[in-house]
Amino acid sequence: MHIQYKNILITGGAGFIGSRLALRLLEEGHTVTVLDNLSPQIQGNNPEHDSPLYKSIAGKVIFIKGDVTKRQDVENALVGQDAVIHLAAETGTGQSMYQIENYNRVNVSGTALILDVLVNIPNTIKKFILASSRAVYGEGKYVDDNGVFAYPENRNSVAMQQGNYEMTDVEGNLLKPVATDESSKLHPTSYYGLTKLQQEEMVKLVCSSINLPFVILRYQNVYGVGQSLLNPYTGILSIFSTQILNGQDINIFEDGLPSRDFINIKDTVEATARSLKTDLANDEIINVGTGIPTSVLTVAEYLANLYGRETNIKISGEFRIGDIRHNFADLSKMKALLNFQPGVSFEKGIDEFAKWVLTQPLHENNFQNSLDELRSKGFLKS
């Protein structure tokens, strides 16, 4: 029999995914509590007045300005809740390589604290949903000319400096990317990916030990209307849009052909809401994506065309340590367990996104500063 989850806690619920999910659950009659620290990197320096994300849920949810790394905040937020959807995390792949302690504190220790409270303090939680990431896979799944699957390790910096970006086997033969399923090898190439894998392992172990049903959702690259235009560390659609509208060149890493699985926020929210409702998802790990790879160069060209600006798309050959080449999701489990298939095509989603961006104030998102940081730490090379 399906359990009704009336009261839902969303950690990070004022963020891009969390705020949209909160509004969706409110429409369905849930009471939603949000625990969020209103990070300036995402929300700006005056979020209560200036952040569209925060303002979209203000006065509609029970809002607790607090932090998943603070025990009292977590204890307060969990009171009376039926389910937890844990979204709060630091999410910049490149930034994670040099803000190691911070990413560990928020992503790993924050998750550990929530689980510690669930184990040690009487509560009414009946389901735990973790927002994980395709970053746990590192490079995705590949196949060689003989049809043998391969999971290549990190790319060689010397080879990349020579313009050899694609994945190869040990003999130097090119490998072909294929859809990455949930049983694929897990070998993160960034510290962010490592923290998400640690989150997964903790949730599986602890929730299983206390008979608390859990769902782990491995989000691919989520984009869409409402995405933060301020954060220079994540979200290439937002970064490229800001550069184009500010009349700046777009710096495309490598040869422009790294690919990602871009899933629209509407489909992401739908999949997450379904994972809450159905018991079929309990104790499962599920990819949330479209299963369609799109190159970074394609994204830049689409946006430049939609904004109608003369934009210099510069394929720089630079590369970031920790970046992967390809990864797109196998959706078999999502379709079977959530009875869901994405409905927003990339063309439709990016068009909606661009139209929305044009209605927003134009900011400088300091992307160049983030690159300078990476370069100074030795994580951006050419």
Separation between Cα atoms, residue 167 and residue 173, nearest integer Å:
8
What integer pLDDT is reported at residue 228 of this predicted model? 86
Looking at residue 312, its amino acid is N
Q: 120-142: per-residue pLDDT in tens?
A: 999 999 999 999 999 999 999 99
Separation between Cα atoms, residue 157 and residue 141, nearest integer Å:
21
Dihedral sign, Cα of residue 215, residue 216, residue 220, residue 223:
positive
What integer pLDDT is reported at residue 3 of this predicted model? 55
What integer pLDDT is reported at residue 233 of this predicted model? 74
Which residues, given as ranges, of the chain have pLDDT below 70?
1-3, 365
The residue extents of the domains of the chain are: 7-381
User: What CATH architecture applies to the domain 7-381?
Assistant: 3-Layer(aba) Sandwich (3.40)
Report the run of H or E that residue 157 belongs to, with start and end: helix 157-161
Q: 182-233: per-residue pLDDT in tens?
A: 999 999 999 999 999 999 999 999 999 999 999 999 999 999 999 988 887 7
Q: Which residues pair with 150 in a beta bridge?
A: 142
What integer pLDDT is reported at residue 382 of this predicted model? 84
What integer pLDDT is reported at residue 370 of this predicted model? 84
Report the run of H or E that residue 348 belongs to, with start and end: helix 346-357
Q: Confirm if 244 and 305 have CB atoms less than 8 A apart.
A: no
Q: Where are the beta strands (DSSP E) in the chain?
A: 7-11, 31-36, 62-65, 83-86, 127-133, 141-143, 149-150, 176-178, 214-219, 221-223, 250-252, 259-264, 284-288, 293-295, 313-315, 319-320, 380-381
Active site residue 223: no
What integer pLDDT is reported at residue 2 of this predicted model? 47
Of 142, 192, 223, 233, catalytic: 192
Residue closest to 8 by CA, chosen among 16, 24, 17: 24
What integer pLDDT is reported at residue 365 of this predicted model? 67
